Amino acid sequence: MNSTMLAGSSPGMPAPSGEPSGILVGMQNIGKTYPNGTIAVQNVNLLAGEREFLCFVGPSGCGKSTIFNMIAGLTDHTSGELAVLGTTPKDARKQNEIAFVFQEHTLLPWSKLIDNVTMPLTLRGVSKKERIQEGERVLELVGLKDYMKVLPRQLSGGMKMRVSIARALISRPKLLLMDEPFGALDEITRQTLQDELLNIWCSDRKMTVLFITHNVFEAVYLSTRVVVMTPRPGKVADIVDIEAPFPRTDDFRSSPEFGGYVHAVNESLKH
Amino acid sequence: MEKLVVSVNGIPEQGGVEATSVQKLEPAPQKRKAGASSGSPLRKFATHIAPPLIVLILFLGFWELAIRLADVKPYLFPKPSDIVKAAAENGHNLLVSVRTTIVEAVLGFAFSVILGVAFAIVLALSKTVERSVYPYAIILQTIPIVAVAPIIVIWFGAGMNAIVMIAFLIAFFPILSNTLIGLNSTEANMKNLFYLYNATKWQTIWKLRIPAALPYILAGMKISCSLSVVGAIVGEYIAGIGGLQGGLGYAITVASTRLQTAYLFACGLSAAVMGIVFFLLINALSNRLLRSWHDSAING
Ligand SMILES: Nc1ncnc2c1ncn2[C@@H]1O[C@H](COP(=O)(O)OP(=O)(O)OP(=O)(O)O)[C@@H](O)[C@H]1O
Ligand SMILES: [Mg+2]
């Protein structure tokens, strides 16, 4: 069903990969009206392909979180067609290929870091040995391997966010949804985490990241494409391709090219 | 006695914010102990233990002196020395009474914790069940225990069973309502996360909602442990077994009919001490369980 549905042209069409299997999220004329009558999003068309890093920017209340919640199956769309991993969001969730990071770290305060990061595996009934092994792997990825036995409250905000990311990475997801993950962090921590996240993503480029942010600089720095949304009811106003190569560094942050992209995104936001 | 129950239950009911109710319940000495843990023992004694101790000594001295000077008869208003003497003379009886009451209160309390938590989990599992059953739980709890007690005596027979039942009933509701509030106050984002990772309903209950409700459950236990002592004594008044096995409630009735006022005071004080010790034990348990991760135990 989704292959025909996704065949149509849409503003979000990625570089010619052609194969329908390369599409992780397909939205066609997606709309969401909440029971109280709020029209959160309307006519959203977007394709997210394999190995993409898609950043969503848009004014507050334009429905970015709503889109993520629909992809995650937390809420249903009220019109249009939505395919995630080639199936419905609810079935896609069962494949254990999707992971989430919220703005709050959502760590269990009573569980040690190792238990927190392995929580998705515990819920799936994975053996303890394998859990520990994977837990060590992801904590190593975010540089917190020495903190395995520590409780979350002993960590700084940035460290908690790292743990939250580690937990999302533990099941080697194909699709990673991040809703303003760095929104509550200071600028320096934020940039460090951006670099770390990009490094992890670049190292194998096996997953697609959908990333919500209010920060245009962050969006340009991180993404392969920036999705700019209109005020409520949210639509896709524009999609800006960021063609700079990976890995990206501070040099990219200070390049004229970067400024050009930021300008382009800002122009689309004013729109 | 009933007023006490209702008002105490009012705290978790209205507030919902458990941290404040926990704080309110914290007895001053315990709280200070946690706060001053970094200071030296001597300094802690001087700043935290000595002042209330001095007040107590002054109070007892004044009491002793005033009654002595006014020459009031001991059966009307005993002096502290009379109370100590009466307690020492009836030491064995007092000990037996205290032991009986402790057993009844602890049993009643244990049942209230087990059943209160279990019942709350059942209610929390289904909104429909909660909505249809919880109102009746509230109504049931407003019926004065003194009015229900005779029925309990008819059903369970005078003695231990009825007394434990009364202690249980009085302690049950704070546990139930607190646990239910705790189970229902799990952060939405946390619940979403469990849902997104395909957690089953039971996994969500065991690994998320019950641990998150633990501070609330413990707050309920702090209220209920003292109430169970009250319940046991009320039960002994109404359904008390006499003779050698009688509890404090029974000893108090006997002492009052015989005008053994000093001994009556001794029994009453024993009951108070029992309630305080019980509370401190639960409070210590609470601090121990929550110490590492919950604000009420860390900042307390
Ligand atoms: N459960 C809900 N019921 C009714 N309306 C809702 C609900 N959730 C969100 N909305 C409304 O839908 C609109 C979009 O909300 P959403 O949270 O998706 O915005 P957002 O783009 O993520 O905003 P922000 O950048 O501030 O996080 C808002 O106007 C919001 O008030
Ligand atoms: Mg949002």
Assess whether the previous peptide bond of A233 is cis (omega < 30° from 0). Answer: yes
Question: What structural domains and CATH numbers belong to chain A?
Answer: 1-97+173-271 (3.40.50.300), 104-171 (no CATH)
The predicted pLDDT at position B30 comes to 40
Give strand pairing partners of B223: none
pLDDT band at B54 (very low <50, low <70, confident <90, very high): very high
Which CB contacts under 8 angstroms, 24+ apart, belong to A237-241? A237/A58, A237/A268, A237/A269, A237/A271, A238/A11, A238/A268, A238/A271, A239/A11, A239/A12, A239/A46, A240/A264, A240/A265, A240/A268
SS3 content of chain B, % helix, strand, coil (to 5): 85, 0, 15
Cα atoms in the 13 Å half-sphere on the side-chain side of A268: 21
Asked whether the predicted pLDDT for residue B39 surpasses 50, the reply is yes
Tell how strand A98-101 and strand A79-84 pair up: unpaired
Asked whether the predicted pLDDT for residue B5 surpasses 80, the reply is no
Give Cα B63 distance to the centre of its chain: 28
Give strand pairing partners of A225: A54, A241
> Using CA atoms in the order B246, B248, B251, B252, what is the torsion angle rounded to 10 degrees?
-150
Asked whether the predicted pLDDT for residue B34 surpasses 60, the reply is no
Report percent pLDDT > 70 for chain A. Answer: 92
Q: Which residues of A touch B196 (CB under 8 A)?
A: 72-74, 93, 98, 100
User: Per-residue pLDDT tens for A211-250?
Assistant: 999 999 999 999 999 999 999 888 999 999 999 888 888 8
Distance CA A133, CA A117 (A): 11
Assign a CATH topology to domain B80-297: MetI-like fold (1.10.3720)
Distance of residue B209 Cα from the nearest chain A Cα, in angstroms: 11
CA A61 to centroid of ligand 1, rounded, Å = 5
Partner-chain contact B194 A123, CB within 8 Å: yes
Burial of B124 (0-12, 13-18, 19+ CB in 10 A): buried
Cα A126 to Cα A165, A201, B107, distances in angstroms: 20, 25, 40
Q: What is the mean pLDDT of chain A?
A: 88
Asked whether the predicted pLDDT for residue A259 surpasses 50, the reply is yes
Asked whether the predicted pLDDT for residue A16 surpasses 70, the reply is no
> Which residue in the block uniquely carries the two structure tokens 């007394």?
B163
Nearest Cα neighbor of A229 from A23, A33, A11 is: A11
- Average pLDDT (B135-145) is 85
Assess whether the previous peptide bond of B74 is cis (omega < 30° from 0). Answer: no
Asked whether the predicted pLDDT for residue B4 surpasses 60, the reply is no
In which element (H, E) is residue A118 found? none
- Average pLDDT (B251-255) is 89
| Of A129-133, B83-87, B140-144, the least confident | B140-144
pLDDT band at B141 (very low <50, low <70, confident <90, very high): confident
Distance CA B67, CA A44 (A): 86
> Which residue in the block uniquely carries the two structure tokens 């002096």?
B79
Distance CA A2, CA A83 (A): 6
B106 CB neighbour count, 10 Å cutoff: 17
Tell how strand A175-179 and strand A208-212 pair up: parallel
Asked whether the predicted pLDDT for residue B10 surpasses 90, the reply is no
- Average pLDDT (A25-47) is 92
Asked whether the predicted pLDDT for residue B105 surpasses 90, the reply is yes
Question: What are phi and psi for residue A149, nearest 5 degrees?
Answer: -95, 10
Mutate one of A68, A123, A180 to test the B interface: name it (highest B CB count within 10 A). Answer: A123
Asked whether the predicted pLDDT for residue B1 surpasses 90, the reply is no
Q: What is the mean pLDDT of chain B?
A: 83
| Of A65-79, B30-44, B188-202, B277-291, the least confident | B30-44
| Of A195-204, A255-264, B34-43, B51-60, the least confident | B34-43
Asked whether the predicted pLDDT for residue B112 surpasses 60, the reply is yes
Asked whether the predicted pLDDT for residue A44 surpasses 60, the reply is yes
Burial of A207 (0-12, 13-18, 19+ CB in 10 A): buried
Q: Domain limits of chain B?
A: 2-70, 80-297
Residue A88 contacts residue A45 (beta carbons within 8 Å): no
Tokens at residue B25, please? 């319940």
Q: What angle do CA B219, B221, B226 make, to 5 degrees?
A: 115
Distance CA A246, CA A224 (A): 9
User: Per-residue pLDDT tens for A178-207?
Assistant: 999 998 888 998 999 999 999 999 988 889
Residue A86 contacts residue A175 (beta carbons within 8 Å): no
The predicted pLDDT at position B297 comes to 65
Question: What are phi and psi for residue A156, nearest 5 degrees?
Answer: -80, 170
Per DSSP, the three-state class of A103 is: coil
Nearest Cα neighbor of B171 from B85, B240, B94, B104 is: B104
- Average pLDDT (A113-131) is 94
CA B218 to centroid of ligand 2, rounded, Å = 35
pLDDT band at B242 (very low <50, low <70, confident <90, very high): low
Partner-chain contact A93 B294, CB within 8 Å: no
The predicted pLDDT at position B116 comes to 96
Q: Which residues of A touch B195 (CB under 8 A)?
A: 74
- Average pLDDT (B271-288) is 93
Distance of residue A222 Cα from the nearest chain B Cα, in angstroms: 25
Letter for the amino acid at B293? W
Report percent pLDDT > 70 for chain B. Answer: 84
User: Per-residue pLDDT tens for B155-182?
Assistant: 988 888 999 999 999 999 999 999 999 9
Nearest residue on chain B to A103, alpha-carbon basis: B189
Partner-chain contact B195 A74, CB within 8 Å: yes
Asked whether the predicted pLDDT for residue A2 surpasses 50, the reply is no
- Average pLDDT (B203-221) is 95
Asked whether the predicted pLDDT for residue B15 surpasses 60, the reply is no
Tokens at residue A154, please? 């002993």
Give the residue, by CA position, lying nearest to ligand 1 atom 30.
Answer: A61
Distance CA A160, CA A189 (A): 12
Q: Which residues of B touch A93 (CB under 8 A)?
A: 196, 198
The predicted pLDDT at position B72 comes to 87
Tell how strand A225-229 and strand A236-241 pair up: antiparallel
User: Per-residue pLDDT tens for A138-173?
Assistant: 999 899 999 999 999 999 999 999 999 999 999 999
Q: Which residues between 133 and 162 in chain A have a beta carbon less than 8 angstroms from any beta carbon of chain B?
A: 151-153
